Amino acid sequence: MQKFAVIIPLLLILLKTPAQEPVYFNNIYNPVNTYASGRGILQVGNMYYGIFGTWEAPDYYYKLGVFKMDQTGNITEWNLFGENGHDYFAGSVGGTLIQTNDGNLAFSCHVMGPDSVYGTLVKLNTSLETIWQRNYSTEHEITMTIKVKQTSDGGYIIVGQAYPGTGSFLDALMIKTDNMGLEEWHKIYGINSNASEYGTDVIETLDGGYLVGGMKDIQAIDHSLNAMVIKTDSLGNQEWVKYYGNPNVDDDMALLAMTDDGNYLVATVYGEWVVSPTSRTGRIRLIKIDNGGAVIWDKLIGQKKRNIYLKNIRPTMDGSFVVSGWAYNDTVTEWVYEGVLCKFSQDGDSLWEREYNYFNYQYSMNFFYDAYPTSDNGYIAIGSARPDMGDSKMWIVKVDSMGCDTPGCITTVISEELPVNTRQGIKVWPNPCREKVWITYINHPFRGDERGVMVYNSHGVKVEEIKIPDNPETIQIDVTRYQKGLYYLRYFHSGKTIETVKFIRN
């Protein structure tokens, strides 16, 4: 184990301190001095904990590293997991490090040993010491676990895929364990299908069952990848399976979250246009479904991007969600993969979307795998960055509540034009805005006594109230003194709210 500084004592409860000033950094790290690629990050007390894939000289077996970081971006301690003669693979999804109910940590990955490939689950304490490690095999030749969540009974649910053998396709896998990581059961899905099916995410449902998120791909057919969601009972028996996507263009894996009303959110990418056999454009797709898989609503948000992929979804402190991933910027002056963060509401409305990089020249790659809400109301994102030539470095970016990695938002900003609410005819424009916003009442001018508008920030705090003079068709508001963020404008008349409209100040 490597130590670099005195360790700050940990609090087991994440402290919410709204008055805390945001911290910013955009750094790369290479603890083992070979290569490093981050997969998951979270905050416990006043420290960040993260996981990364690497290899270690001189034998260069793949291993996993777990680290502690202070709030200014300094790694204070790290430890490697794995033994020589075995490769520990980090996997292709984000959010692979979790905090357990007892304040410790856990991760799952798959291991290739001299004679077999098997899944593993490791529980460790906040000093990065192993508490226990459990290995899993199935009736298939190869067992690969990739992501773990803790269940309401204190046990664990793990997803991944299993491979029956030569000439076969991968099948989605789910393993249920007790609180000590001992297997209770496992289930394999997609057996005898004509495609590979991958388990990449999982959540426990309100009826005691599970939703498995993943993807289905027919390797022999270009652009056949679709998002997949499997619903099971409490013992993992499949109840239904749904596939979402453009049948003629690659889409993405399904990431899962529960909404406040007890339904479920599927975040994926909708492929729109084929660029080449291995490339396509797409947009972020959000689908709200009920427990039976029926679609409640289905939305596309953000701008179309080339090779956009999502790697994790997390709920935020204000009840919204944030997804992390990457996209390819192939403009005339740039051919760069950039990290992507997108925040959206429970109703699927885009709040902000931003792109980031560490290396910003041709053919460099900047990938995000995970983003976690922090105690200063910002986010910390982890992934990997590499120039055109050279090995990847672990890449960690700390941003504020609007996704800015420096005060004033130097990152590329992509905020959607919010739709006009036409129930009563209020139009707010431009939206997003920077210096001024105009409000027009389309159906007729503002008339009558005791009328005006109130502006509230996203925390419900009133920031301004404006009385409306007689008969104007348009009202102008100076927003330069507003903090950047989401606002709600309420038009009232005689003490009653007539309409509420959202706008964003960039």
Q: If you average pLDDT over residues 182-201, what whole number do you get? A: 93
Is 404 in contact with 383 (CB distance < 8 Å)?
no
C-alpha 438/C-alpha 421 separation (Å) is 14
Domains and CATH numbers, the chain: 426-505 (2.60.40.10)
**Distances in whole angstroms, Cα of residue 93 to Cα of each of 45, 66, 188:** 25, 16, 19
Q: How confident is the model at residue 219 (pLDDT cuts 50, 70, 90)?
A: confident
Region of 125 on the Ramachandran plot (φ > 0 left; ψ -120 to 50 alpha; else beta): beta
Is 290 in contact with 258 (CB distance < 8 Å)?
no
Residue pLDDT, tens place only, 319-369: 899 999 999 987 655 689 999 999 999 999 999 999 999 998 888 999 999
Residue entry with tokens 């992501």: 147
For residue 412, pLDDT beyond 60? no
Least confident range from 2-6, 28-32, 338-342, 427-431: namely 2-6
Which backbone phi and psi does 237 adopt, to 5 degrees? Answer: -75, 130
* Amino acid 443: pLDDT: 52
C-alpha 176/C-alpha 152 separation (Å) is 12
Q: Which amino acid is located at 297 in the chain?
A: W
Least confident range from 41-50, 154-163, 225-234, 357-366: namely 357-366
For residue 314, pLDDT beyond 90? yes
C-alpha 174/C-alpha 143 separation (Å) is 10
For residue 422, pLDDT beyond 60? no
Q: How confident is the model at residue 278 (pLDDT cuts 50, 70, 90)?
A: confident
Mean pLDDT score of the chain: 87
- 15: helix, strand or coil: coil
- Who wins on pLDDT, 45 or 483? 45
Please say whether the dihedral angle defined by the alpha carbons of residues 100, 70, 379 and 392, taken in this order, is positive or negative: negative
Residue pLDDT, tens place only, 448-469: 556 788 887 655 557 788 887 7
* Amino acid 489: pLDDT: 81
Q: If you average pLDDT over residues 250-275, what whole number do you get? A: 95
For residue 431, pLDDT beyond 80? yes
Residue pLDDT, tens place only, 23-42: 999 999 999 999 999 999 99
